[in-house]
Structure 1
Amino acid sequence: MAGYRLGVDFGTSTTVAVLRWPDGAIKPLLFDGSELLPSAVWRDPAGPLLSGRDALFAGRGAPDRLEPNPKRCVDDGAVLLGADETPVTALIAAVLGRVGAEAARVAGEAPTETVLTCPAGWGGPRRAVLSAAAEAAGLTAVRLVDEPVAAAHHFLRAVGDRLPVGGHLAVYDLGVGTFDASVIRRTASGFEVAAVRGLADAGGLDIDAAVIEHLGGAYARRDPARWRAMLAAETDADRRGLRQLRDDVREAKELLSRAAATTVALPVFSETAPLTREELERLALPMLSRTVEATEAAISAAGVTAERLVGLVLVGGGSRMPLAATLLHQRLGVAPVALERPELAVAEGSLFAAAAPTAAAPTVPAEATSTLDTEPISPPVAGRRGARRWWAAAAVAILLAAAVPVQDWLDNGQREQGQGSRVTGSASATPPASPSPPVSPVAAGVTLKGHSDLVDSLAFSPDGTRMVSAGLDSTVQLWDVRTGAKVKTLVKGAADTLAFAPDGRSVAGAYVSAAGREIRIWNVATGDVQTTMDDIGHTPVDIQFSPTGRTLASAHLDGKVRLWGPTNGGEYAVLTTARETAWSVSFSPDGRVLATGSSTFTGASTPDLGTVQLWNVATGKQTKRLDGFERAVFSPNGKTLALTTVTNAISLLDVASGKITTLTEQPTLHGGQLAFLSDKLLVSTDFKDAFRLWDLSTGRQVTTFGGEPVDPREGTMAASPRTGAIATTWNSAHVRLWKVTPT
């Protein structure tokens, strides 16, 4: 094609563009001397929108008018900048317009064609927003290309075309704000996306946040109020200080890809803090481990093994971290290929992808869609519109127990996770008429025996292969769920409440002894105590790690919720709930929001009072209050919050709309525990029937199971969304495993 062709990779934090000249030469566009154009946009009340470094500079004086990451707003319709509501299409158009103007200046004429990339998991509405923004920016003959397809074309040109028809290539794309793992299949007519796994809360920004939290744990004690004020960023001075800190952390992180140590300026204290590569890698490990798991899941979903891949290519600025390649090689046994300039790979490859024959559009399974289309909850933001609300139907059928080896039972759950669900049993295709028959436990090896007294706490590891249990015999036992065997006695001591860390390497437990109350974190491999929180106030009732593992939240009988740094044992925030006793803590999937539940006992003649509160974890400020509820648990995608009343009736909150629907109005009189098996399956405890399974897509109870109806004492449970397993105990020293398998 004659004329100039423009390829644009519109990113969360930075945008990259390349220009192909009529003679075939490809050169990156420079913006203020750099190949990376900040995607930031600033609203000038008296003039046009500013983009790039101009926007960042203007944002120092008026940070409330700055949107640093317009791509993250693609679903919002409009964003409030200062007092003005600005359409998201206008924000994106401001960035793309800057690219188009620079391309025309360099070429001396407008490009004849523009290729614009987007995540493979983006659906029609998001692609329409991007196309509308490109049109508003004045770009010519715009075509959209999936980012991993563009990356695959660049990879093949860089290393030689060695991908045969039917072959597969994996793309590991770690950007500033998001992560996508894709598997590309070559067909006779081009390339197609065979599978995608995305993480909306994994990127360079999240690693930066981990570093800031780490620095806060070490330095904030000097002036906690001042540190919290800077993080809250409610004044212009605090916004400038926070932006300076974030910029320094980002630059330090990039430097540590080449050096062993550096320093970070702390504007709050007017000094610098040392930061080593070892510290950075420790902080980044939980998030990077999740990206590796997502990559492995994408490969599996594509129906291939890592050994059969033609290559594994790293793109995106975040992939420069040496630890990313190391973890991938260790987990998959495949040496990743790091491109010389990974930031340019998608933009350059887009031009060849657009010129190549197009394969027929593949049918990508729903579970392979990037989680960017079902991104987690964030605190309500004034002026944002059009938040997506999505519910998918899930058929749930009750089946009779089958004698399946525990290993096969668990592996099947892992392979099929995310495809709808059924409780193991008969071949009925529809839910039975009420009352539902009880499910039976899976045969062979699903009753775990090892405690000598009642079990009162259970917790699955993140991958669902292991479980810990605490009993009144003052031991914590570690189990291999795949075999039903006890691995070892992890702890000899009483622990009332347990929680696995996201990386599965450690377990936290609330420990009460004659010497006082503590929270201890044990190394799963050695049983050694890694961290101790020894001045914790009243007895903890519930504990949970944040999804990154950087924060541990604990709910206490004095009505307080405390936030801890698990690596140093330091308390850095105390949240005062609305009632006398705090009962539950639950983090949203992105770790930014914490839901707490509390209640006050008012006496036999007056109903107890309960309140659920949502908190901004970064600032410690309440963002929402729901009276009349006592406990709350986030669904895996963060779109639903399951609530119980003080009488243990169950309701569901649609977080995006704020709408509350009642699942059951009938008081259960006992229990009050909730656990999600998936976004559409909820398990609850109940006095009469012990445990209940709910299908949230229909709002109906599927079945009841387990327990002893004649026994008045409380049952305890845990659930593993990864494997579809439920562990229960009801006034017993034994633990029973139940199976919920996907359909």
Structure 2
Amino acid sequence: MDFGTYRTSGAMAGGSGVTTLEIEGARWLSSTVVAGDGGLILVGAAAENQAGVHPDRVERTPKRHLGSGAPLILGSETVEVAEAVAALLAMFLEEGSLRNERRPPALAVLTNPVRWGDARRRALMRAAEIAGYPETHLIEEPVAAAVHYVTDQVAVGEHVGVYDLGGGTFDTAVLKRTESGFETVGAPGGDEYIGGEHFDHKLFSYFGGCLAEEDPETWNKILTSDERRWRQAAVDLLSHARRAKEALSSYPSTKIFVPEADREIVVTREQFESMILDEIERTIDEMEDTIATAGLTGEDMSALYLVGGSSRIPIVVRLLTARFGSCVTTRDEPKSVVALGAASLARRWMDSGEVDTSSDPVAPAQPEAREVKTAVPGVPALAVDESQADAPVIMWETTPPSWLGPMASDGSNLWSHLADGTVVCLDVGNGDPAWTSSVGPANDCAPSSDGGVVLVSAADGAITALNPTTGAAFWRVDLGQQPTTSVVTIGEILVVGTSEGSAIALRRADGGAKWRLPFGSAVRAAVASGSSAYLSCANGRLYDVDGRSGEVRWMYPTGGDLVGLPSIERTFIHVPSGDGKVYTLERASGSPVWAYQTTGPVMSCVSDANLVIAASVDDRLHAMKRDTGEPLWHLSVGPWIGPPVLSRGRLFVIGADSRLRCIDLTSSRLRWTLDISLSEGSRVPPPITANGLLAVATGDGRLLGLW
């Protein structure tokens, strides 16, 4: 069984060899589950038929929720994730039994991503148990794929890569052929939010843009209306996008018909490839990075196997071949490769009478949440060479009309909510003001932007959406509660946290209410990535909330108040806590990876590809390895003002001595210092990076652009 994010496939091994299981006439089944009437869980065609009728009862990606500890909320029903997955797995068990004279299989092998922790593996095993599976074992997905391809005669000691671009996620791994099979070498990679569904939404947005040019009212209804017929129209348009994507793998162009607008829309392969080019190049870079972590290069690969339905998109094969050459290999239906390999492995185990547990990774691929105890006396202090410190290059200087609040930037523009209640927009290139707009009393939350709108929360409870070019207000709504976070954007949904302990979602188009989720504790910080809003609460809990539905995917309790902004990156989310620890969690599941105990309450943390740096209130900075939490160094900076900034291997920190320091972490050299004119008790917003510059507010009301 290959239980996928968006599609699930199965295979069986018997007297007639290894064959794919066809369910409802297809070699794969949608992973969508829907709550039917009377507590019944619908899967397959029945689920797809009801998805448009009851969109509030639908979960299209139950795999993302396995091991989260939180149930699925399907309409008015609360469903254990394992039970929903079990309903899907049971379809394949029934089909396999029918093909085997109604006898159940003697052995089952389920596959899982290499990066899954123990909690998610146990949850998958639990689902198999509920579905009635017999003796069940787990195998990593790339291992199963390599087993299927083993007839390519990979010699013992040779290495192969697996590039798995599926419907919802992307995974990479490097495997070494051993006497008994394959073993993973190096660090697996991937991205939880790149896949075929992401590409579908690119086409969906393209079709929407075409509609909006001629019939903006229809497009707005498809996008935002709660009426059933328009919700169904949105589902239908996404289905058109999916079919168009598949057609463009075979034909240079295709067209769709949108009945609500009586409109045909043509899209070409060239247009589609331009939409997804950046994401595909990122996946290829990730494959190269994964190979590098194994101490290898592309030339060392005997083969690079393409797995997952989206790996058949022509630009994927073309760019991979350009990067890695003739070792790129695809064969059979890519979605079936993993299931076929798992079935082959099951047959091998049955024939030999022994299960090779070295290929059956029930133990976690990464450590259980473990605490890394600090021992600052034993952790080296960062020895900073201050002998050659210089002055920074000041590219521009400006004086805003009022005291600056927290800043935000999209690389071209910089925004700040000033003390006089106006928002100022500055040109990052020269510091010149572009516009100001009055929005209401300032709070401690930075503005935010998704490119098409600037979003500002005010102390009077208002959220205002501004035109990024002119500063004119698109709309303004009163929450009835005081916002305590910046507004984060998830597609067409906006999410903001409040002092009363709620997360409130608004429609991006007009500010209309979408959903409200009470936490019972003030929300202190919010960040967004993909479809998730990550919300830190004063009671020490971090929530992952689906921005589209308001559903809690998982919750993690820390041991102290959460005040600072979590640091989010590709795989992990790093959480500063008032109990003096930094907690690192898996983004997808909330499963803990490590926790580092510092020497005081942690108010903020920053991270890059290698490091996590935490600032504790005892005036120390602590650096840990990003993936293990192993302490690397600490730095006593004296009383510091505001959180540190980490960018391109350089650390920026403001001390109470009024000096901003730039430390090159590669050479441990103090590159420059700058007096920013702080007086005792004065506050300035944290510096931010913007298009290679560092924007820094000074204690005398100026704003500097530093290089």
1:337 is aligned to 2:316: no
* Contact 1:180/1:197, CA 8 A, preserved across alignment: yes
Deviation at 1:98, TM superposition (A): 1.9
Cross-structure match for 1:467: none
| TM-score normalised by the chain length of structure 1 | 0.63
Cross-structure match for 1:393: 371
1:103 is aligned to 2:96: yes
* Contact 1:641/1:652, CA 8 A, preserved across alignment: no
Return the match for 1:727 from 642, 646, 652. 652
Cross-structure match for 1:450: 393
1:315 is aligned to 2:315: no
* 2:251 partner SS: coil
Task: Specify the code of the residue in structure 2 equivalent to 1:151.
Answer: A
Return the match for 1:736 from 662, 670, 680. 662
- The Cα offsets for residues 566-625 of structure 1, whole Å up to 9 and x where unpaired, read as 9xx9999877667899984556xx879866579xxxxxxxxxx89995647878646457
The change in CA–CA distance for 1:271 and 1:737 in structure 2 (over 3 A counts) is farther
| Greater shift in the superposed pair: 126-135 or 238-247 | 126-135
CA distance in 2, matches of 1:446, 1:291: 39
Task: Specify the code of the residue in structure 2 equivalent to 1:191.
Answer: F
Correspondence list, 1:29-44, <5 A: 29-44=21-36
The change in CA–CA distance for 1:447 and 1:54 in structure 2 (over 3 A counts) is farther
Return the match for 2:412 from 489, 508, 513. 508
CA distance in 1, matches of 2:107, 2:485: 59
Return the match for 1:64 from 41, 52, 56. 56
5+ residue gaps, structure 1, are 1-7, 374-389, 399-427, 432-436, 454-470, 475-495, 501-506, 599-608, 644-649, 667-671
Cross-structure match for 1:646: none
CA distance in 2, matches of 1:575, 1:441: 49
The change in CA–CA distance for 1:519 and 1:237 in structure 2 (over 3 A counts) is farther
* Contact 1:707/1:729, CA 8 A, preserved across alignment: no
Cross-structure match for 2:346: 354
Task: Specify the code of the residue in structure 1 equivalent to 2:184.
Answer: V
CA distance in 2, matches of 1:452, 1:733: 18
Correspondence list, 1:607-622, <5 A: 615=505, 621=514
CA distance in 1, matches of 2:526, 2:387: 32
1:165 is aligned to 2:156: yes
Cross-structure match for 2:174: 183
* Contact 1:585/1:595, CA 8 A, preserved across alignment: yes
Return the match for 1:677 from 607, 632, 635. 607
* 1:449 partner SS: coil
CA distance in 1, matches of 2:434, 2:145: 47
- The Cα offsets for residues 416-473 of structure 1, whole Å up to 9 and x where unpaired, read as xxxxxxxxxxxx5348xxxxx8x554679886733255xxxxxxxxxxxxxxxxx549
The change in CA–CA distance for 1:94 and 1:595 in structure 2 (over 3 A counts) is closer
CA distance in 1, matches of 2:472, 2:22: 45
The change in CA–CA distance for 1:736 and 1:286 in structure 2 (over 3 A counts) is same
Correspondence list, 1:532-547, <5 A: 542=446
The change in CA–CA distance for 1:574 and 1:319 in structure 2 (over 3 A counts) is farther
CA distance in 2, matches of 1:310, 1:565: 51
* Contact 1:172/1:312, CA 8 A, preserved across alignment: yes
Cross-structure match for 2:113: 119
* 2:10 partner SS: strand
Cross-structure match for 1:632: 525
- The Cα offsets for residues 112-164 of structure 1, whole Å up to 9 and x where unpaired, read as 4433322233344433333333344344443332211111122232xx21x22
Cross-structure match for 2:702: none
Deviation at 1:168, TM superposition (A): 1.8
Deviation at 1:48, TM superposition (A): 4.8
The change in CA–CA distance for 1:597 and 1:86 in structure 2 (over 3 A counts) is closer
Cross-structure match for 2:671: none
Deviation at 1:273, TM superposition (A): 3.6
* Contact 2:35/2:57, CA 8 A, preserved across alignment: yes
Cross-structure match for 1:10: 3
Q: How many residues align?
A: 586
The change in CA–CA distance for 1:554 and 1:125 in structure 2 (over 3 A counts) is same
Deviation at 1:83, TM superposition (A): 2.9
* Contact 1:175/1:317, CA 8 A, preserved across alignment: yes
Cross-structure match for 1:137: 131
Deviation at 1:263, TM superposition (A): 3.3
5+ residue gaps, structure 2, are 350-354, 401-405, 417-422, 544-553, 562-576, 581-601, 669-707
Deviation at 1:519, TM superposition (A): 7.7
* C-alpha RMSD over aligned residues: 5.4
Deviation at 1:327, TM superposition (A): 4.4
Task: Report percent identity of matched pairs.
Answer: 25
Cross-structure match for 1:481: none
CA distance in 2, matches of 1:664, 1:299: 39
* 1:173 partner SS: strand
Cross-structure match for 2:15: 22
Deviation at 1:739, TM superposition (A): 2.9
Deviation at 1:44, TM superposition (A): 3.1
* Contact 1:16/1:36, CA 8 A, preserved across alignment: yes
Cross-structure match for 2:250: 258
CA distance in 1, matches of 2:32, 2:523: 41
* 1:737 partner SS: strand
Correspondence list, 1:412-427, <5 A: none
CA distance in 2, matches of 1:40, 1:286: 28
* Contact 1:577/1:596, CA 8 A, preserved across alignment: no
Cross-structure match for 1:149: 143
Cross-structure match for 1:669: none
CA distance in 2, matches of 1:652, 1:443: 39
Deviation at 1:252, TM superposition (A): 1.2
The change in CA–CA distance for 1:683 and 1:61 in structure 2 (over 3 A counts) is same
- The Cα offsets for residues 29-61 of structure 1, whole Å up to 9 and x where unpaired, read as 333332222223333324854321122113333
Correspondence list, 1:534-683, <5 A: 542=446, 554-555=455-456, 560=463, 562=465, 584-585=486-487, 596=496, 615=505, 621=514, 623-624=516-517, 632=525, 634=527, 641=535, 653-655=541-543, 656-657=554-555, 661-662=560-561, 663=577, 676-677=606-607, 681=612
Task: Specify the code of the residue in structure 1 equivalent to 2:168.
Answer: G
Deviation at 1:309, TM superposition (A): 1.7
CA distance in 2, matches of 1:278, 1:497: 39
- The Cα offsets for residues 366-400 of structure 1, whole Å up to 9 and x where unpaired, read as 9975xxx9xxxxxxxxxxxxxxxx854345676xx
The change in CA–CA distance for 1:611 and 1:141 in structure 2 (over 3 A counts) is closer
* 1:144 partner SS: strand
* 1:263 partner SS: strand
Deviation at 1:307, TM superposition (A): 2.4
* Contact 2:107/2:134, CA 8 A, preserved across alignment: yes
* 2:110 partner SS: strand
Deviation at 1:171, TM superposition (A): 0.8
* 1:35 partner SS: coil
CA distance in 1, matches of 2:388, 2:616: 23
Cross-structure match for 2:574: none
* Contact 1:724/1:741, CA 8 A, preserved across alignment: no
The change in CA–CA distance for 1:42 and 1:622 in structure 2 (over 3 A counts) is closer
* Contact 2:501/2:520, CA 8 A, preserved across alignment: yes
Correspondence list, 1:229-378, <5 A: 230-231=222-223, 234-266=226-258, 269-329=261-321, 336-356=328-348, 361=358, 369=366
* 2:646 partner SS: strand
CA distance in 2, matches of 1:564, 1:114: 57
The change in CA–CA distance for 1:329 and 1:54 in structure 2 (over 3 A counts) is same
CA distance in 1, matches of 2:557, 2:146: 43
The change in CA–CA distance for 1:119 and 1:715 in structure 2 (over 3 A counts) is closer
- The Cα offsets for residues 523-543 of structure 1, whole Å up to 9 and x where unpaired, read as xxxx9xxxx999988699956
Task: Specify the code of the residue in structure 2 equivalent to 1:132.
Answer: R
Return the match for 1:55 from 14, 28, 47. 47
